[in-house]
Amino acid sequence: MVLSHLELDGKAISAEEILIQGGMLAKGKKPPHPNFAKKRFDYWVAQGKLKLIDNRKEENRVEE
């Protein structure tokens, strides 16, 4: 979620992708722990973006 707030989500990759690129995990195989999965990484990045959008909406309401 923090990656979204820092606008670094486009520069980061999941642990699963690191393992694949490093040759320690074959593409298509499950990572050793569910927290390493790209799908989970993408989920939390999306949650961070939603929270960021919601916070900005709240800021705009307060200013009005």
Q: Domain residues of the chain, as ranges?
A: 2-63
Half-sphere exposure of 58 (CA within 13 A, CB side): 6
- In this prediction the pTM is 0.81
pLDDT digits (tens, 9 = 90+) for 10-53: 999 999 999 999 999 999 999 999 999 999 999 999 999 999 88
Q: Cα(64)–Cα(23) distance, rounded to whole angstroms?
A: 53
| pLDDT greater than 80 at residue 63 | no
Q: Which residue has the higher pLDDT, 58 or 35?
A: 35
What pLDDT score was predicted for residue 5? 87
* Per-position b or e across 2-13, b if 16+ CB within 10 A of its CB: ebbeeeebeeee
Please say whether the beta carbons of 18 and 30 come within 8 A.
no
**Binning pLDDT at 50, 70 and 90, where does residue 3 land?**
very high
DSSP state of 3: H
